[in-house]
Structures are given as structure tokens and as C-alpha cells.
Amino acid sequence: MLKTFKKGGVHPPENKLSAAKKIEVLPLPKSVFIPVAQHIGAPATPVVNKGDLVKTGQIIAKSSSFVSTNIHSSVSGKVKKIDFSADSSGYPKQGVFIDVEGDEWLEEIDCSEEFVKEFNIDGPEIIKKIQDAGIVGLGGATFPTHVKLVPPKGMKAEVLLINGVECEPYLTSDHRLMLEKPDEILVGTQLLMKALHVEKAVIGIENNKPDAIELLSEKCKGYQGISVQPLKVKYPQGGEKQLIKAVTGKEVPSGGLPIAVGAVVSNVGTAFAVYEAVQKNKPLIERVVTVTGKNVANPSNFKVRVGTATSELIEAAGGLPEDTGKIISGGPMMGRAVASLDVPVTKGTSGILIIKEDESKRKEYMACIRCSRCVSVCPMGLEPYLLMTLGEKQIFDRAEQERVMDCIECGSCSYTCPSQRPLLDYIRFGKGKVGQIIRSRKK
Amino acid sequence: MSKLLTVSPSPHVHSDDSTQKIMYRVVLAMVPALAWSVFVFGIDALRVILIAVLACLAFEYLIQKYLMKIKPSVMDGSALVTGILLAFNVPSNLPWWIIIIGSLAAIGIGKLSFGGLGHNIFNPALVGRVFMLISFPVQMTSWPVNTQSGIDAVTSATPLSIIKEGISNGTPISEISKNLPSALEMFWGGIGGSLGEISAALLILGGLYMLYKKVITWHIPVSIIATVGIMAGIFWMVNPEIYINPVYHILTGGLMLGAIFMATDMVSSPMTPKGQIIYGIGIGVITISIRLFGAYPEGISFAILIMNAFTPLINYYVKPKRFGGK
Amino acid sequence: MSITVIYTIATLSVIGTSAAVILYFVAQKFKVHEDPRIDQVEEALPGANCGGCGFAGCRAFAEACVKASDLSDLNCPVGGNETMNNVAAILGLEAVKKDPRVAFIRCNGTCDHRPKTNRYDGATTCAIASSIYSGESDCQYGCLGFGDCYDACEFDAIELRADLGVPKIIDDKCVACGACVEACPKDLIELRKQFPKNRKVVVACRNEDKGGVARKTCSVACIGCGKCEKECKFDAITIKNNLAFIDSDKCKLCRKCVPVCPTNAIIEENFPPRRVATEDKKECSTAN
């Protein structure tokens, strides 16, 4: 039976152009720029200096607090400099520039493709390995995974949800990973289950990926406690709260974490990274990135080293099209437009999307005609038209009352507005301001 | 690369829907009823529609350009919808100058004085209609004969006004009914009345098209019609000699037009489904109260305008169910 | 007919009179006693309710003035010394003379100086643009040009200059209320001491990047070379994070720092033209 979340949601055209393309390994770039802040939380502190020789997998920046992760070198070579450069956040961030020389891996890393199913390791050790490997949520939120695996006092995880929804249009990296590495994902899931002490895991996959549903359902039989839940196609089903609602029927309370309803959500990519970290000793230094767009010559899925410049990926997919208007890091609904092609692939980059010139410009927006579509598509049951006005007029106390902080920034409201109003722009602004007010109140 | 990259906040795709498209869908939904009115009332109906539409467009353009000094937005389709709705609400033999005054009231007072599309509290077409009804009651309530009804008269009254007059003269319903068209006639449009209100069937057809295209939701029309039906039904069961059966209330007096095309006006109706049902019930209750106990035979226009005034209040108190409770 | 009219008028008059009487007594009963001086002080204030004094409007400021035992912490930047003297006279206190201030946008990154490297296409406010990225040029510190300061200004003292890409402050209209300072997400606007004839010498840059990087993004960026700091005899100039800052309270308008700046990041305004030696100096600066 197909499940889905109840409230709101939209159906943008899927445009999964690269769904049939096998994951290719992108050739090593000549140089990389690895930002030290690729996750939510405190940036890591660089531990290498200019001129140092580093090996692939070596730690180049150490996490400085619990909510933070290590950053590893994704290549071997010489540290050129430690400097600031723009990443997909749009602002210059500190990072390590490395000139690639050969590809020499740390000895303890098992680089072979051989599948290792058996493990004999206890929960805390798994968490330790995940933390050391610098694993973060690969769905795009980049929250450090080890933090999620340690529930706050008094709370207990009951079920692990593996997010194979990939509800963003265009993106296919998770889809391909599920098709090509199903066993690895399932072992990763088992490791996460053990770390969390849960008996049950559900992999949620949208119905537009029948091949992945079939394959994983078949493979699941060999793994205890793991099942596949097919889901009706609807954006933003990949949102943590929406996925929990769809699969378990429970609603995460406003302002609460998924653990409040006994759920922990991890992306399939994260599960795969956990497998590699625990079974192969391999830190998170590469990931699958979809390079796509309607005018891209050869939409592809690449296995890319972290720190590779966007331009290299686009080159490998057939070069930058003439009528490029916008380049997005991530999907079209929640991804960030980048201002330059030097922006590196980071742990959270699930795709590079190229939008044509004529589709990249917003139309002039008109007055709100109160059609209430934004209200009906909001998956959080908010009133975007109202929140936008409150943001615009800077009435932040009322915005807080109207639960602006519940907004998950999925963009369904802006997507659907017939007057083309920039609803999310102002809601995000209001959310930021209200967040500041709430934080200053706590102090 | 020669061109500059565009940077904007997410989302980067849009549903390709627009306000114009919505407005033109509404226009399309009104076409069957419009065609029927021309068929029934002849070229006169076409005259009324043309005058109303052109006057609305012209007033919108002139006021925006010369009084408000903003870029005129006549092409957004909203003035066109207002014009057609205004024409739907008047008899086909209305003098041209009254239509123009009504259009000015609709666009000038009903819409632009509040700031234009999206800011008006009341449905502009209804503001125009009520303005005309109060200013020119005689012209507004003498309808030409319906060529399809087969009644021999120069001017005919609407079923509701026949009932109202009959009851005030003390005639029992059973007597009045003899002069009334059958329910089937009313459903298909064989009755006298304003341009757009005569054929329930074609109005419902337009409503179904708008539902299919998601221009409207079912909440407002269904709650209005159900409320009117239930309330009229209760009165009818209490005393069928004074109160006519609910079918007449539902099929006449522009109730269908009001419920499907006027009350559903996006700008002046509530945002949440729950709010829309409250709004619909309110319109139903007020309509029946005016029809049965008020001075006018029809009440839907006033009912919608009154509930329009409550829309901001409904929006303030009736919130969608938030995800995550509380 | 006439009887009806008379009845109507009579009834309405009776209702009106009785309502007035009731209201009068109610108003008496619930009257809140207020210091009458609050009204007087409020009267003396400009009534702009701009909040530049730090209070929520003129009334709140007037209340604070009446309560205060000395006026040294209270200042109405809009009315200036004159208004504060009037307020002091009403309250029988001493007004402290304060230097008038004027806002200045510390960015000279106009279209000519700072090439655009991308095109922004979102809601046109600085707050939203700065929340998603650093801006249309490569300078992450510079003015975005969408005019949040313009929107915040209640006194029409800021003009948007589409030709420049950076708004300009109209010194004579600026009352230094500080609304634009709050509104600017890049923290570019500073309230500086207002000199006679609106003369000013100021570093029109906030770029904290290293010299080379800053220079690449904008031709008039401060590169933090420190030449102006050495030149200044009044210790008015400090260099911090690769950026020079001229303290307007120490600056004597000698203008010595202006010609030594290799990037023309220091600008002088409203001075008479220089007479001699400017040619040589210019050559020097380009030779550097």
C-alpha cells in the first residue's frame, strides 16, 4: 500500500533526466578546495599547514565540539594554502587548498570494491567510527550523524527511517546509489540500527523509483528488521517530518526533534557512508553527485571527491551550455544558486543543476489575490501569505505566534503562487529574525 | 563565460500558473451561461455584457493611470471577470447609463478605492450590483420575458418575486405555485431573471470546470447551497402554505450564480477550508433570512457582501491545522 | 410629516445630550493623572517618532526626560541642541551640548569601481539578498544597493542612485536618527561628527580582505596598507583587519591622508579644490 503525508505538498515535474545513468567515477581534479565547515555546527579547525604533504583520507581539520565533524583530505598532495573562498553558502569560507599529486591513500583504508557483510562491533564503537569518519546527513541538511545517534536523556529511538525518497526534481544520486549499492546500504542500515539499539528500520522510497523499491524489497529479506515502504510521489516527502508522518503516521511536535516520536531519519547516502566508515575504514571524502539540467549535453551521476570545483563536474557532463542562466547546488526546490563555478562539491552537495537562461529569471510579482493555494500546499499547515506580509512589514512577534519557526523552507508556497510572489524569501527572512529574537531571549 | 549567472533564493522552479490564467479560466467557466443569456434574451444581453465589460476595463485603466498614477493592470483579467459578473447580475433591458454607473461603482468603489486587485474587502461586482439595486430599484427589478418560458407577457417577474408578492397579499403557496415555472424549467433556464442567473445547469457546468481546474474548491458553494436547502426545508416542513419548497430557493434568485461565481471570489473569501465553510453557512443563513423575512425577494448579494466583511475576522480566528499540533 | 421630523430631531438631541453627560462623568472618573510637563516636552520635540533617541517615539522620550534628573544621557538627534535646550528649559535642567552627527555610507563601490560578477533575482531587499549570499560583486562587505536604508529613512535623506549602485546620503536632510544604521545588513553606515559645510574625510570602504583580494574585487577598496595611519598627526586613523578607520571625533580635516591613499579609498567631500602639488601626489600614488 502506498503511503504519504497528509497535509499540503506539490507535484513539480520530476525531470529525472539522469535516472538511467550509471554512477561514473569522476577523474581526479588537479586541485581541490575543502571548506572546514561542511556541516551544521562549529567549523572544524585546520590541523595542516601550507606545504604539508597529505594522503587521501588524512584528517586536515579536527572537529572542535560535539556538534561538529572532522574534515578529511579527499586527495593526496601538497597543501597550497589555507584561505577563504566562496562555497555554496554564498559567502567566503575558510578551507584547505590542496594540489593533487597522485592518489595515495592512508594504509588503513580498504579501497577495494569487495562487499563486507559481517560485522562484530558494538554500538558506541560504531558511533565513534562514524564521528571519526566525519559523516554528516547527506540529504543536504548536513547535520553530524553521530549527534543524531545519541538521543537526548529520557528519549529512546524506536524506529530508524532510511530516506530514499529523493523528492527533489532532477536529482537521481540516491536513486542510483540504491540500485548499485543495495547491500552496502542495508549493512549501513544495520550498523545504524545497532548504534541506536532499534529493532526496526524502514526504507522510504517514492513510487517513481519502482526498480529501487523492487530491488531493495528483495534484498531486505536477507536482513532482519529492515523493510521497504513505497510512498506516493509528493514533494516535500523527503523532509524529515513529512517522511516520519508518511511512514509512521506520527507528527513531530512543533519545535521538537524526530526523536520525540521515537524516530531517527538518515539518508540512503548516509547509510552507505556509514557502511564504508565502519566496514572499510573509509572517511567521508567522496559522494555521488547528479549533474543535470534540460540543456546539459550528458546528464550524469558522478562519484566525486569532496572539494572538486563545480566547473570540473559540468565539464565532465558535456560542458557548460551556451544558454546557462543559473547554476544550483542541490535540487531546484531547496538548492542554492551559486555565483561562481569555483564553488566546491561538499558533503551536502547532492546535485549540480543547470537552469536555462529563460527559466532562470523570475517574473514580476503581482498582488496577492488570496487564492489560498499557499495555505493548501504548506506541508506544515502554516499561512505563507500572512507570514510573508509579516516578514515584509517586520512584525516579528506576530510572525512568531503564527509559527514562522515551523517553516521547513520547502518552497511549495513560492512554487505554487499564481501571482509569483516571493513568499519564501520573506518567510525565510522573518524566520531568521524571529530566530535571533528567540535566541536573545534565552540569554 | 560572457553572461552573468543569476543568483536567487530557492525555489528555482515555478508551477507555471498565473493570476491571469486563473482569471481567464473563470471567464471560460462563465461562457456557457453567457451564451445561454444571449440565446434567451437576444442581442440585448450581448449589449449589456459588452457595455459592462468595456466600462469596467475603461474605468480600471483610467483610474489607475490618472488617479492612482500606477501602471494600469487591465490585462490581468480581473476587470473582465468583474464586468461579466456585473452583467450577469442585471436584467437585459437595463439602460446603458445605469450599467456604466454600476461599473464605476464596482471598479472605483468596490475595487480600486481599496487599492486594487487583492486588496478589496468586498466583491466588486456585487458592490456595483447592490449600488444599482438601491439607486435604481425599478429598472433593476423589471425583467424582460424569457423567450423560452412560453409565458405571454412583456415583462416577467422572477419566481421569487412572484412568491414574495403572493405571500404578502395573503395568497397561499398552493395558489401561487400555479403561476410558477416547474423545477425542471428553473434548472435548465426557462425562467425570467437577470442575465446570468437563469440556468442553474449551465452555472453548475461552469462550477465543475472551475473545480476541475482547481480555481475554486467545493467548500463555499456546497456549504451555501446545503445551508439554504436545509433552512428552507425546515421552514417548508413547518408550514408549506407560507414557505415554498427548498428546490425553488436553490434554483432561483441567483443563488447558483452567487454560490458558484460570486461567493467564491478569491480575494474576498476566507483562506482556510474551515473558514470557507463558516463563510458559506453564514451566507446561506443570511440569504434565507432576507428572502423569508426581509423586504427583498432575493438576498444572496447582500448575504455575500455581509459575509465579505467578516472574512478578515474569519481569517484571523480560523487557522489551518498546524503540523505538529498544539 | 413635520411632526415626524420634530420627533426625530428631539429624540436624537436627547440621546446625544445624555450620552455626552455620561461620557463626561466617565472621563472624570477614569482620568489618569499625568505630569503635565510630559505634554509640554512632547510639544517641544520634532514629533517624527523616528526612535533615533532610543525610545519608542517622542512620547516615550518625553516621559523619560521628565523622569530623569539630568539630561546628559538623553538626546534627540533630530532636534539637536536647540530642541534639547528647550526641553531643558521646560524641566529646569541643564542640557548637555552634543556634536551634531550625520550618517555616512562607507562604500564607494559604484558600478565603475566594482564590477558585477552575478545578477541577483530575488526579493529586492538587502536583508534577503544578504541572507543568501555575499552580493552581486565579489566584495562581500560592500553595499548591495537594494535600498533598505532608503526604506528605513523617515526624512527623505537618502537617495537611491541607480547610476551609481550605491545610495547617497543628503547631509542637509539627515538628522542622524540611526534608522539606516540599523537597517543596513552590511553594517556600512556610520553616524559621524558633522563638520561645518558638511566637510568630511572618510574611508569609504569596509572591506576586511587582504590587500590583493580586496583590490581585485573593487578598485577603490581599502587595502589596509597603513600609509594614512602614518600620515595622520592626530591619531585619528586606526588600521584593524586590513581596514583603515578615521575617527571623526579626532579628525581635524587636514586632508593629509587623502593623497597618500594608493587606492583612493579615502574620500574628501565639500572642500574647495586643492591648489598645488596634487599633480605630483597623483603620480606618486600610481607609481606605487
DSSP string covering A15-77: --TTTTPPEEEPPPPSEEEEES--SSSSPPEE---TT-EE-BT-EEEE--SSS---EE-SS-E
Contact B323 A241 (CB under 8 A): yes
Q: Among A30, A33, A27, which residue's Cα sits nearest to residue A46?
A: A33
CB-based contact A192:A274 (threshold 8 Å): yes
Clarify whether residues B164 and B71 are in a common domain: no
Give phi and psi for A219, each to the nearest 5. Answer: -70, -30
Nine-digit cell string for C81: 541642541
Rounded-to-integer distance, Cα C41 and Cα C59, Å: 9
Asked whether residue B197 falls in the same domain as residue B300, the answer is yes
Chains within contact range of chain B (3+ C-beta pairs < 8 Å): A, C
Determine whether the interchain pair A378/B320 forms a contact, defined as Cβ–Cβ distance below 8 Å: yes
B95 prior amide bond cis, ω within 30: no
**Contact between residue A378 and residue A404 where contact means Cβ atoms under 8 Å apart:** no
**How does DSSP classify residue C54?**
S
Asked if residue B160 and residue B133 are part of one domain, the reply reads no
The pLDDT value recorded for residue C283 is 44
Cα A336 to chain center, whole Å? Answer: 12
Spatial contact of C252 and C224, defined as CB atoms under 8 Å apart: no
Residue A273's contacts (CB-CB under 8 Å, 6 or more residues apart) are A133, A135, A138, A188, A284, A287
SS3 content of chain B, % helix, strand, coil (to 5): 65, 0, 35
Test A91 with C140 for CB contact under 8 angstroms. yes
Q: Which of C120, C126, C131, C136 is the mutation pick for testing B, counting most B CBs within 10 A?
A: C120
B161 belongs to a structural domain: yes
Contact B289, B299 (CB under 8 A): yes
Mean confidence (pLDDT) of chain C: 86
Determine, for residues A332 and B320 on separate chains, whether the beta-carbon distance falls below 8 Å: no
Q: Which residue of A has its CA nearest to B311?
A: A370
Q: Which of B140, B172, B191 is the last residue of a domain?
A: B140
DSSP class of B66: I
Q: Are residues B135 and B156 in the same domain?
A: no
Confidence of residue C288 (pLDDT cuts 50, 70, 90): very low
Q: Report the number of distinct structural domains present in chain B.
A: 2
Query: B3: nearest CA in chain C?
Result: C118
C-alpha cell at A55: 594522503
Are the beta carbons of C118 and A86 separated by less than 8 Å? Answer: no
pLDDT in single tens digits along all 443 residues of chain A: 788 888 889 999 999 999 999 999 999 999 999 999 998 888 999 999 999 999 999 999 998 888 899 999 999 999 999 998 888 888 889 999 999 998 889 988 988 888 988 888 988 999 999 999 999 999 878 899 999 998 888 888 999 999 999 999 999 999 999 999 999 999 999 999 999 999 999 999 999 999 999 999 999 998 989 999 999 999 999 999 999 999 999 999 988 889 999 999 999 999 999 999 999 999 999 999 999 999 999 999 999 999 999 999 999 999 899 889 999 999 999 999 999 899 999 999 999 999 998 888 888 898 899 999 999 999 999 999 999 999 999 999 999 999 999 999 999 999 999 999 999 999 999 999 999 999 998 87
What are the residues whose beta carbons fall under 8 Å from the beta carbon of C49, sequence distance 6 or more?
C57, C58
B323 touches chain A (CB under 8 A): yes
Are residues B87 and B182 located together in one domain of the fold?
A: no
Higher pLDDT, A299 or B147: A299
Alpha-carbon distance of C282 to C288, in angstroms, equals 10
A348 grid coordinates:
551536502
What does the CA dihedral B51, B52, B58, B60 come to, rounded to 10 degrees?
180
With CA atoms as reference, the chain C residue closest to B9 would be C122
- Residue among C119, C155, B323, B257 nearest A256 (CA): B323
| Span C206-246, pLDDT tens digits | 999 888 888 888 999 999 999 999 989 899 999 999 999 99
> Are C121 and B6 inside 8 Å of each other by CB?
yes
- For residue B313, is it within any domain? yes
For residues B125 and B209, membership in a common domain is answered with no
Question: Is the Cβ pair C134, A86 closer than 8 Å?
Answer: yes
Question: Inter-chain contact B325–A253, Cβ cutoff 8 Å?
Answer: yes
Contact partners of C by the rule of 3+ C-beta pairs under 8 A?
A, B
Q: Is residue B6 part of a domain?
A: no
Chain B nearest CA to A247, separation (Å): 15
Tens-digit pLDDT profile for residues C81-107: 888 888 888 888 887 777 888 999 999
- Identify the band that residue C52 occupies on the pLDDT scale cut at 50, 70 and 90: confident
Q: Does residue C287 have a pLDDT over 60?
A: no
Classify strands B5-7 and A336-338 as parallel, antiparallel or unpaired.
unpaired
**Closest-CA distance of chain A to residue B313, Å:** 14
pLDDT in tens, B294-303: 878 888 999 9
B149: pLDDT strictly greater than 60 = no
Residue B3 located in a structural domain:
no
Beta pairing class for B143-144 and B155-156: antiparallel
Q: Cα separation of B195 and B33, whole Å? A: 8
- What confidence score (pLDDT) does residue B145 get? 67
Do B122 and B69 share a structural domain?
Answer: yes
Q: B55 vs chain A: nearest CA distance in angstroms? A: 22
Greater confidence (C84 vs C20) lies with C20
Question: At what angle are helices B300-317 and B273-293 packed, to 10 degrees?
Answer: 150
Chain A to chain B Cβ contacts (< 8 Å): 160
Across the interface, do C118 and B7 touch by the CB < 8 Å criterion?
yes
Contacts of B8 in chain C (CB under 8 A): 120-122, 132
Task: Please tell me the number of Cα atoms within 13 Å of B59 on its side-chain side.
Answer: 29
* Sole residue written with cell 437576444: B42
Domains with residue ranges and CATH for chain A: 123-280 (3.40.50.11540), 373-442 (no CATH)
Q: C132 contacts in B (CB within 8 Å)?
A: 7-9
Are B109 and B256 found together in one domain?
no
- Distance between CA atoms of residues C158 and C172, nearest Å: 11
**Structural domains of chain C, with CATH:** 36-91 (1.10.15), 101-287 (3.30.70.20)
Residues of chain B neighbouring A363 (CB-CB closer than 8 A):
14, 18
In this structure, are B117 and B242 located in the same domain? no
Q: Does B79 touch chain A (CB under 8 A)?
A: no
Q: Which residues of B touch A359 (CB under 8 A)?
A: 13
Can you tell me the distance from the alpha carbon of B88 to that of B249, in angstroms, rounded to the nearest whole number? 19
Please state the φ and ψ torsions of residue B41, each to the nearest 5 degrees.
-100, 0
pLDDT for C281 equals: 46
In a domain, B215, yes or no: yes
Residue C69 exposed, middle or buried by CB count within 10 Å (0-12, 13-18, 19+): exposed
Q: Inter-chain contact C121–A362, Cβ cutoff 8 Å? A: yes
Supply the range of the domain harboring residue B74.
27-140
| Residue C175: pLDDT over 90 | no
Q: Is any Cβ of chain A less than 8 angstroms from the Cβ of B317?
A: no
Are B104 and B171 within one domain? no
Rounded to a whole number of angstroms, the distance from the CA of B314 to the nearest CA of chain A is 13
Q: Is residue B168 one of the residues assigned to a domain?
A: yes
Place of cell 561542511: A38
Residue at B309 is within a domain: yes
Whether B59 maps to a domain, the answer reads yes
* Overall residue count recorded for chain B in this entry: 326
State pLDDT tens for residues B254-272. Answer: 899 999 999 999 999 999 9
Contact A92 C134 (CB under 8 A): yes
Do B192 and B97 belong together in one domain? no
Cell 490581468 maps to which residue? B76
Chain C residue with the nearest C-alpha to that of A427? C128
The last residue of one of the domains, among B80, B109, B140, is B140
Helix axes A423-442, A384-392, angle to 10 degrees: 70
Closest to A92 (Cβ–Cβ): which among C117, C127, C140?
A: C140
* C116 vs B4, B8, B9: nearest CB: B4
CA of C115: how far to CAs of A75, A90, C110, C262, C286, in Å?
34, 17, 8, 19, 21
> Quick check: B71 contacting A, CB < 8 Å?
no
- Write the CA distances from B100 to A1, A139, B55, B60, integer angstroms: 59, 60, 6, 12
Q: Are A305 and A74 in contact (CB under 8 A)?
A: yes
- Measured between beta carbons, the chain C residues lying within 8 angstroms of B14 are none
- Chain C residues in contact with A362 (beta carbon < 8 A): 121-122
* Same domain (yes/no): B114, B158: no
Contacts of A7 in chain B (CB under 8 A): 321, 323
pLDDT of the residue at B156: 60
* Residue among C117, C118, C128 minimizing CB distance to A429: C128
Q: Which residue of C has its CA nearest to A325?
A: C119
* pLDDT for residue C101: 87
B152: confidence class by pLDDT, cuts 50, 70, 90: very low
